[in-house]
């Protein structure tokens, strides 16, 4: 099918706009990203590998990031599904406020979020004495990192799910209930398969954001090398210590992750579009289907040999 | 299984969807809930299914109170307006769903689903996805899925609403036969009086969350109990006639009816909407000839005017065709309203 084109724009304008877009993207995204990789591999892959694997603090930072991010994503997945379910299936006072509150982490600076967590969970914080008496350490420890990361990635899963669940509607779930399914069966057999791509999309975005989180984590981690440094913090610390090649090596891992996320996002978005089309098709009811060897509706039988089913 | 609805009320915010509604549905009845949108008919159906909770009142099945029973345990087959088929499952899995969640053994599921596929004439289509089916086929999958759990009651929400006219008429007749053979207590919701009268044993007319009238189609049609029912049903003319070779005959006047192409004549109820009728301009009928013979060959019928009601640009002429007992309503633009006491309505 030919793509529609705007014929009123003159060719010069079009070329200028393309040049501007390519220029900005090139200057701000492609060149910096490429230079990170160039810098990281400047002394060859062996040096790159040494910088990552032979420094115990860097190793620990990678391991910590690989632990904290999935935990935060898991919490957000559970929270996201529960909240999206609540918001899309029930009407209650304060519903719109709840949706708005889910977006707060998008508008609050991560540093502020980190500070808020210190105010609550820190030694002089609201819950500090209680936590201290229990022997739990949140701030300057990994639970604080998980909390901070969860906070900043909070909207990503729930924001993906709400519109999809609204669009699908409750009918299939009600049908499953009337057929005798339990709540868990409805969720695993009907809801989850219907939202799986939207959920995966949210998870991939949340994971990318969680891995890269710097501000909130910076405040709550205390920046203890080999203990509470995540990958982004490690990149910054190595850079401050004038160990640029090592810093770039870690940065290249984060950048590589971004590229993987990009590909995953592309694939998932295509699936989401396909699902949306399918939903559209399921809503419209063709009386005869064109093509694909489908016979036209033969109509109902003229007599029924019904046994009581 | 008989259903007894006792004093059910339900409000959504300030909107009173149902206002102290009581209704008995005897075992084996096919009952239609008929009314305009917002009359509470779908809400009542959902409350019977347990998909909605009443604010007050009780629901009983064979005398047992099931008001507090969860939809899951009610053993009610529910066919949703847009079918609500599980999009990601095949037709087979859709029908099997109710059996699978009950952990029925595999061979039993297979047998049962194939039996139902045959019953709804979808043999061989078990592997399709719902999106690959036509509207009429989806409707039958939804029905088979509801029947798979051996429900005691079958509830259908606007079962034919989303189908085109031809498929609708065929499915309607098929569903009626299916009901007669299975004999399950069934309730369906519709806003289409034609559908209600053709299909149901009993019709319940609802408006503003209340039942206006309940009775057999003939009772309701011939003796509307309230002005609302009269007005709601007054929109259609009904006659006993016959269909044959793609034509319906109304007092001997042929009207195109392509849905019945068969040569064999069959008695039929003929519905004619007032705006589908016109008044012949000739006015030159041979005086008082037998009405059914269309003596002038104009395709019109001599009749006496009973009254003319004008509302805005439309005038409704009520007249009685010669030799007939029933009234006939014709809607015409007000400025073409005929004068005099004799008219010749035609399709």
The reply to whether A9 falls in a domain is no
Non-local (6+) Cβ contacts of B173 within 8 A are A300
User: How would DSSP label each residue in B26-87?
Assistant: -TT-EEEEE--TTSSHHHHHHHHHTSS--SEEEEEETTEE-TTS-GGGS-EEEE-TT----T
The answer to whether residue A246 sits within a structural domain is yes
A-facing residues of B in 190-249 (CB < 8 A) are none
Buried b (16+ CB within 10 A) or exposed e, B145-162: bbbbbebbbbbbbbbbbb
Q: By CA distance, what is B85's nearest residue in A? A: A172
Q: Which residues of A touch B186 (CB under 8 A)?
A: none
Task: For strands B253-256 and B202-207, give the pairing.
Answer: unpaired
Q: What is the DSSP letter of B152?
A: S
d(CA B59, CA A38): 74
> Which tens digits make up the pLDDT trace of B177-206?
888 888 889 999 998 888 888 889 999 999
CB A285 to CB B163 under 8 A? yes
Give the CATH class of B237-346: mainly beta
Whole-model pTM: value is: 0.73
Determine phi and psi for A63, rounding to 5 degrees.
-60, -40
Q: What is the DSSP letter of A226?
A: T
Number of domains in chain A: 1
Cβ of A287 within 8 Å of Cβ of B136? The answer is yes
Q: Is A58 a domain residue? A: yes
Same fold across B3-233 and B237-346: no
pLDDT tens string, chain A, 309 residues long: the values are 455 555 666 788 889 999 999 999 999 989 999 999 998 888 888 889 988 888 888 899 999 999 999 999 999 999 999 999 999 988 889 999 999 999 889 889 999 999 998 888 887 878 888 888 888 887 888 888 999 999 999 999 999 999 999 998 899 999 999 999 999 999 999 999 999 999 999 999 999 899 988 889 888 888 887 888 888 999 898 899 888 888 888 899 999 988 998 899 899 999 888 888 877 776 665 444 433 333 334 444 433 333 333
Window B:169-188, CB contacts with A under 8 Å: 170-171, 173-174, 177-178, 181-183
ipTM higher than threshold 0.85: no
* Option in B50, B136, B150 nearest A300 (CB): B136
**By CA distance, what is B184's nearest residue in A?**
A308
**Fold of the domain built from segment(s) B3-233:** Rossmann fold (3.40.50)
A302 located within any domain: no
For residue A244, what are the domain limits?
45-282
Q: What are phi and psi of B8, to 5 degrees?
A: -80, 130
Verify whether the Cβ–Cβ distance B101 to A309 is below 8 Å: no
Residue A127 lies in a domain: yes
Asked whether residue A17 is domain-assigned, the answer is: no
* CATH code where residue A102 lies: 1.10.3720.10
Q: Minimal Cα distance from B153: which residue of A?
A: A178
Q: So where are chain B's domains?
A: 3-233, 237-346
């Amino acid at each position: 099918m030919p793509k529609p084109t705007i014929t009123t724009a003159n060719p010069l304008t079009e070329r200028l706009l393309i040049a501007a877009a390519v220029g900005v993207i090139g200057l701000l995204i492609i060149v910096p990203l490429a230079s990170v990789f160039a810098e990281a591999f400047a002394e060859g892959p062996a040096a790159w590998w040494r910088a990552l694997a032979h420094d115990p603090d860097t190793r620990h930072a990678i391991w910590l990031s690989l632990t904290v991010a999935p935990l935060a994503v898991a919490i957000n997945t559970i929270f996201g599904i529960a909240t999206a379910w609540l918001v899309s299936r029930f009407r209650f006072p304060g519903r719109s406020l709840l949706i708005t509150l889910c977006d707060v982490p998008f508008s609050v600076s991560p540093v502020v979020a980190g500070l808020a967590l210190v105010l609550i969970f820190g030694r002089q914080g609201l819950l500090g004495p209680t936590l201290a008496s229990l022997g739990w350490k949140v701030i300057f420890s990994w639970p604080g990192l998980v909390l901070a990361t969860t906070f900043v990635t909070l909207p990503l899963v729930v924001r993906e799910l709400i519109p999809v669940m609204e669009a699908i509607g409750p009918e299939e779930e009600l049908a499953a209930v009337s057929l005798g399914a339990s709540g868990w069966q409805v969720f695993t057999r009907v809801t989850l398969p219907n939202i799986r791509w939207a959920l995966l999309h949210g998870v991939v975005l949340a994971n990318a954001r969680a891995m890269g989180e710097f501000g909130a984590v910076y405040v709550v981690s205390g920046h203890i090398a080999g203990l509470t440094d995540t990958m982004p913090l490690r990149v910054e610390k190595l850079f401050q210590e004038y160990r640029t090649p090592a810093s770039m090596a870690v940065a290249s891992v984060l950048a590589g992750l971004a590229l993987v996320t990009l590909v995953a996002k592309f694939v998932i978005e295509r699936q989401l579009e396909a699902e949306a089309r399918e939903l559209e098709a399921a809503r419209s009811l063709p009386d005869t289907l064109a093509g694909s060897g489908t016979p036209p509706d033969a109509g109902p039988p003229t007599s029924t040999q019904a046994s009581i089913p | 299984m008989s259903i007894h609805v006792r004093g059910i009320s339900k409000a959504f915010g300030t909107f009173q969807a149902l206002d102290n509604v009581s209704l008995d549905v005897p075992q084996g009845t096919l009952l239609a809930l008929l009314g305009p949108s917002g009359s509470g008919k779908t809400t009542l159906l959902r409350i019977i299914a347990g998909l909605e909770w009443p604010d007050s009142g009780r629901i009983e099945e064979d005398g047992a109170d099931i008001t507090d029973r969860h939809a899951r345990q009610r053993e009610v087959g529910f066919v949703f307006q847009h079918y609500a088929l599980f999009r990601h499952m095949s037709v087979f899995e859709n029908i099997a769903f109710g059996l699978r969640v009950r952990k029925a053994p595999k061979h039993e599921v297979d047998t049962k689903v194939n039996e139902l596929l045959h019953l709804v004439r979808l043999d061989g289509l078990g592997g399709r996805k719902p999106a690959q089916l036509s509207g009429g086929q989806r409707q039958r999958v939804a029905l088979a899925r509801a029947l798979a759990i051996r429900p005691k009651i079958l509830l259908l929400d606007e079962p034919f609403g989303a189908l085109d006219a031809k498929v609708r008429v065929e499915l309607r007749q098929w569903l009626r036969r299916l009901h007669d053979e299975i004999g399950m207590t069934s309730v369906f919701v519709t806003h289409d009086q034609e559908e209600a009268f053709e299909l149901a044993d009993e019709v319940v007319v609802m408006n503003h969350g209340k039942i206006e009238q309940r009775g057999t189609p003939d009772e309701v049609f011939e003796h509307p109990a309230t002005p609302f029912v009269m007005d709601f049903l007054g929109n259609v003319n009904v006659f006993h006639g016959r269909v044959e070779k793609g034509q319906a005959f109304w007092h001997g006047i042929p009207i195109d009816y392509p849905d019945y192409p068969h040569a064999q004549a069959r008695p039929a109820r003929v519905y004619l909407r007032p705006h589908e009728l016109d008044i012949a301009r000739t006015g030159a009928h041979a005086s008082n000839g037998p009405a059914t013979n269309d003596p002038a060959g104009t395709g019109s019928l001599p009749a006496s005017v009973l009254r003319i009601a004008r509302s805005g640009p439309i005038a409704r002429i009520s007249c009685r065709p010669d030799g007939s007992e029933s009234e006939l309503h014709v809607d015409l633009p007000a400025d073409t309203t005929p004068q005099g006491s004799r008219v010749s309505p035609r399709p």
